[in-house]
Structure 1
Amino acid sequence: MGNLNKVLLIGRLGKDPEKRVTQQGASVVTLTMATSEKFKDRTGNMQEKTEWHKIVFWNKQAEVLEQYCRKGSELYIEGSLQTREWQDKDGNKRWSTEIAGRNFQFLGAAGQGQGQGQGYQANQGGAQQGGYQQPQGGLQDQGGFQQPQGGFQQPQSGFQQPQGGFQQPQGGSQPTGNTPPPQDDFIEDDIPF
């Protein structure tokens, strides 16, 4: 069986994107994103747990994110986990695990400085058109970074109407006036919104 290293997140930025430029001129942006989940504890009280994620994007994607995102921006992110080795001020080896961003999509209401539903995708191979190639190897300034290969690629998505429809049962039986109305399977108080 093959391996899989994929991360999918929907969350909000905890601070403005942090942009830097490598010695080779590649743009790098680091995002700090919060995701939350709600659950009931043993006593039945609702609790919320927030997880913070460090996400790194390169080149044109980094420039777009730095330009259009601010603290509180809601994003959909696709990427993979990577561990990076570095040295601190004292020369000690350190490691940090982060998400290498590959694709993103702006979420939230228009008017927050971002277009709703706009997505940007990293080029995943020679057969695709548009997008941007991401370097493999983390934040080290190693040179040899890939340059943009095309423009933004709008994701193809949307909803489709179901095919077919409701069909009347065959067999000639007609409902009678004595048929009770259908019963709801849920109680309105159980709806989470």
Structure 2
Amino acid sequence: MQRLKNISSGIIRSIRYSSETTTSREPPRIEKTINNVQLLGRVGADPQRKGSDQHPIAVFSVATHSNYRYESGEFLQRTEWHRVICFKPGLRETILTYLKKGQRVHVSGRITYGEVRGEDGKPKTTTAIAADDVIFFQTS
């Protein structure tokens, strides 16, 4: 058992913490966390349907750019590619039907990490954005 002292308004209080606070009578506090990603860029290729018939997913890539200017005045644009996956049935079908290569798109979601086995049987780590919402911009 651990004893902590808390000073509040000039009064010293003792608070006891023990294993009793994590019993089945009182649920433990769940810590809040944030895993939020937003991308605004262009689609790299037409989306593909992957996964199984029971668990299909839509997969596509989005390019984003970072612009740099050196002291010499030289301008550099660096492109980064992001793999986006979508599990939500309605959104998944909309992506597969309407989203096209080169289209400007805004993706909101969360970053995910996983592991797949390559053709050689060796594990390979993957990183993707699991899309919760995708906004399509009108093509010209």
TM-score, structure 1 length as denominator? 0.53
SS at match of 2:35: coil
Q: Does 1:49 align with 2:82?
A: no
Q: Counterparts of 1:3 and 1:11 in 2: how far apart (Å)?
A: 26
Aligned partner of residue 4 in structure 1, secondary structure = coil
Q: CA deviation at 1:14?
A: 0.9
Structure 2 gap segments, 5+ residues each: 1-30
Residue 21 of structure 1 deviates from its aligned partner by: 4.8
* Cα RMSD, aligned residues only: 1.6
Does the CA contact (< 8 Å) of 1:27 and 1:60 recur in 2?
Answer: no
Corresponding position of 2:65: 36
Aligned equivalents of 2:99, 2:53: Cα separation in 1:
24
Query: Retained in 2: the 8 A contact 1:57–1:101?
Result: yes
- The amino acid across from 1:83 in the alignment is Y
Q: Which has the higher contact order (CA 8 A, sep 6+)?
A: 2
Question: Offset at 1:42?
Answer: 2.7
3-state secondary structure, aligned to 1:67: helix
Matches within 5 A, 1:1-193: 2-24=32-54, 26-58=55-87, 59-109=89-139
Between the aligned partners of 1:98 and 1:50, the Cα distance in structure 2 is: 17
Question: For this pair of structures, how many residues does the alignment match?
Answer: 109
Secondary structure in 2 aligned to 1:34?
strand
CA deviations on 1:132-157 (whole Å, 9 max, x unpaired) are: xxxxxxxxxxxxxxxxxxxxxxxxxx
Aligned mates of 2:51, 2:114 — CA distance in 1: 18
- Give the equivalent residue in structure 2 for 1:169: none
1:81 Cα deviation (Å)? 0.6
Alpha-carbon distance in structure 2 between the residues aligned to 1:33 and 1:10: 8
Q: Which residue in the other structure is 2:18 paired with?
A: none
Following TM superposition, the consecutive aligned residue runs of length 4 or more in structure 1 with deviations greater than 4 angstroms are none
The SS at the match of 1:56 is strand
Structure 1 gaps, min length 5: 113-193
Structure 2 distance, partners of 1:96, 1:75, is 22
The residue number in structure 1 matching 2:13 is none
Alignment deviations for residues 102-141 of structure 1 (CA, whole Å, 9 cap, x no partner): 11111134xx5xxxxxxxxxxxxxxxxxxxxxxxxxxxxx
Deviation at 1:89, TM superposition (A): 1.4
Partner of 1:180: none
Q: Percent identity?
A: 26
- Spell out, residue by residue over 1:18-40, the C-alpha distance to the aligned partner (whole angstroms, 9 max, x if none): 1135141x331101110112221
SS in 2 for 1:63: helix
Q: Find the aligned partners of 2:99 and 2:48 in 1 and give their Cα distance.
A: 10
* C-alpha displacement of 1:44: 1.6
1:52 alignment partner AA: W
